[in-house]
Amino acid sequence: MYPLLELGPLRLASGGLLLIVGVLLAHALFERLLLRRNGAELLQASGSVVYLALAAALLGGRIWFGLFHWQLYAQHLQLWYALRISDFGWGGALLGAWAVAWLYCRWKRLPSAELADAAALALPLAQACASLGLLLSGEAYGAPTELAWGIELFGTKRHPTQLLLLGAALLSALYLWWLARRAVPSGSLFRAWLGAQALSMLLIEALRGDSLLLPGGIRVNQLIGLGLLLGLIWTQPRLERALSPDPEALTAERSDQLSARS
Amino acid sequence: MSDRKRLLSLLFVALVGSVFIVATRVRPEASSIAAQTPAPIGEARPLANHLAPDFVLSDLAGQQVALSELRGKVVLVNIWATWCPPCRAELPMIEEAQRRYGERGFVVLAVNQAEERALVADFMREHGLSFPVLLDSDGAVSRLYATQALPSSFFIDRQGVIRTLYRGPLTQSVMAGVIEQLLTEGGDDVSAP
């Protein structure tokens, strides 16, 4: 475990550092993908959506964490804006970023599905870097185990949750890049990424030793994962209908979008 | 996908997912310590069922605090550092435990491992934490308690016996379970209100 990287007089938190590196790399990849898949016009039009989504992820993640530690956060208001990398909830970050990006796209009349697909291809890179950061810093640690694949952490053999998160990010990247080569409708890549998140939250969370809990020991992230999975199944027919609409209506809608953008 | 297939898929995933979530929930682990107060074994050592090694350290205000003066209370000695993420993650739980069980005779001694007083004081203030922090400036108490991993937590009963110890992060259910059990146990030399 290397929670601190000492570079001369600087003491940098390895978890936070790799998270920032991951976000920067994913942002660069997102822009390249958007340019290649959708052209310079959409890249330019997407403008500040990435920064807004990132800000919303930070805000949502902290609010989420604060709500689940309400007694402490209500008494000490400075905790809401304290620089603590570990005090963010993934569920809140995901919801916050998605909600703000979706609203921004509606407001600017941007094609949210195309933007979301490019984001889905880039996000696993950020997640892979963040997982390595978690391994170095010891965050998102697993519950104790006697199984052979356990890793030694904090003096105990634990489930290698950080490595599982890394594996999940790499697997989802492989699947998404494979899917991107197929002729799939817009929005499919993002839905596939969401499906991977849902499965990861449901399955890997079960092995974590630091989960946010509800009364009865139920893990919050597992509930979010299950809800996400059910939501994806529920909305599948609507997507199918939306993808095979009346050709005339589609042409009219496309014309509206183009005229709004111009 | 037809409506019928969609409904069946939804029901199947909801059922399997719910069973999985309930099956993998975090269970209380209060039974991880012996139900009866054991007789302390031999000399003071940082091991379960031994008397807790005594120490005297300064708190952030410069006041000397001795572990032996807290005999009669249930004490959590938590060895930590500000740079350690799992230590930071469990501090809100420790704060909550102090607030919840303090009046029943539970005391936290958060022994900071070899960091500057100002740094620790700023950290506590910034994060709104109010439990007592002792400064182990030269690491002597960390060595006395054979601390190889951070955080390390020692739950000490009213007789001054280490009843259970955790090298590594605690979970909320473990902490609550152990404290509840130790507070429930009586003691001849109880001095707590």
Question: Mind listing the pLDDT tens digit for each residue in B52-69?
Answer: 999 999 999 999 999 999
State how beta strands B133-136 and B106-113 pair: parallel
Nearest 5°: the CA angle B110, B113, B116 is: 100
Distances (CA, A) of B139 to B118, B152, B165: 17, 14, 19
Cβ-Cβ contacts under 8 Å for B49 (sequence gap 6 or more): B34, B38, B40, B41, B161, B162, B163
pLDDT for position A71: 63
The answer to whether the beta carbons of residues A22 and A133 sit under 8 Å apart is: yes
- The Cα diameter of chain A in Å comes to 66
User: Looking at beta carbons, which residues of chain A come within 8 Å of B95?
Assistant: 72
The residue of chain B nearest to residue A223, with distances taken between CA atoms, is B21
Q: If you average pLDDT over residues A186-206, what whole number do you get?
A: 94
In a 3-state reduction of DSSP, which class is residue A89?
Answer: coil
Per the CB < 8 A criterion, the answer to whether A202 and B19 are in contact is no
Q: Say how far apart CA A28 and CA A252 lie, in whole Å.
A: 34
pLDDT in tens, B128-175: 888 999 999 988 999 899 887 788 899 999 999 998 888 777 777 778
Closest Cα in chain B to A157: B168
Q: Which residues of B touch A (CB under 8 A)?
A: 1, 3, 6, 9-10, 13-14, 17-18, 20-22, 24-28, 83-86, 88-89, 92, 95-96, 99, 126-128, 148-152, 167-169, 171-173
Give the residue with greater pLDDT, A123 vs B128.
Answer: A123
| pLDDT bucket at B29, cuts 50 / 70 / 90 | low
Burial class (CB in 10 A: 0-12, 13-18, 19+), B190: middle
Asked if B25 and A210 come within 8 Å (Cβ–Cβ), the reply is no
Q: Which of A206, A230, A236 sits opposite B1 (nearest CB)?
A: A236
Residue A248 corresponds to which tokens in the numbers above? 């005339």
* Contact residues, chain A, for B172 at CB < 8 Å: 213
Which of B24, B88, B152 is the mutation pick for testing A, counting most A CBs within 10 A?
B24
ipTM of the shown complex = 0.81
* Chain B residues close to A206, C-beta within 8 Å: 20, 24
Contacting residues of B for A237, CB less than 8 Å apart: 1, 3, 6
Q: What band does A237 get if pLDDT is binned at 50, 70 and 90?
A: low
Optimal mutation site among B2, B6, B19, B26, interface A, most CBs of chain A within 10 A: B26
Mutation to test the A interface, candidates B1, B25, B27, B90, most A Cβ within 10 Å: B25
In a 3-state reduction of DSSP, which class is residue B44?
coil
- List of residues 6+ apart from A242 with CB closer than 8 A: none
CB contact under 8 A, B21 and A230: no
As given in the structure block, the two tokens for residue A110 are 């941007």
Q: Say if residue A17's pLDDT is above 90.
A: no
pLDDT at A192 over 80: yes
Q: Model's pTM, two decimal places? A: 0.72
Could you please report the per-residue DSSP string of A175-242? HHHHHHTS-PPTTHHHHHHHHHHHHHHHHGGGGBSS--EETTTEEHHHHHHHHHHHHHHHHHHHHHHH
**What pLDDT, in 10s, does the model give residues B103-125?**
999 999 999 998 899 999 999 98
Mean pLDDT over all residues of chain B? 84
Nearest-by-CA chain A residue for B22? A218
Give the side-chain half-sphere CA count within 13 A for B19: 5
Question: In chain B, which residue's Cα lies nearest the Cα of A225?
Answer: B17
In whole angstroms, give the CA distance from residue B3 to residue A186. 23
Q: Quick check: helix, strand or coil at residue B81?
A: coil
Which pLDDT belongs to residue A250?
A: 46
Q: What is the DSSP letter of A244?
A: S
Alpha carbon distance A40, A21 (integer Å): 25
- Tell me how many residue pairs between chain A and chain B have CB atoms under 8 A apart: 116
* Cα of B162 to nearest chain A Cα, Å: 18
**For the ranges A147-151, A217-221, A258-262, B75-79, the one whose mean pLDDT is highest:** B75-79
pLDDT at position B30 over 50: no
Residue in the structure block whose two tokens are 């050592």: B45
Q: According to the model, what pLDDT value does residue A190 have?
A: 94
Total residues belonging to chain A: 262
Residues recorded for chain B? 193
- What percentage of chain B exceeds 70 in pLDDT? 87
Yes or no, beta carbons of B128 and A79 under 8 Å apart: yes
Nearest-neighbour CA in chain A from B5: distance (Å): 10
Pairwise pLDDT comparison (A189 vs A86), residue with the higher score: A189
CB contact under 8 A, A3 and B84: yes
| Alpha carbons B52 and B156: distance in angstroms, whole number | 7
Tokens of B70: 């807290």
Interface of A with B in 130-149 (CB under 8 A): 137-139, 141, 144
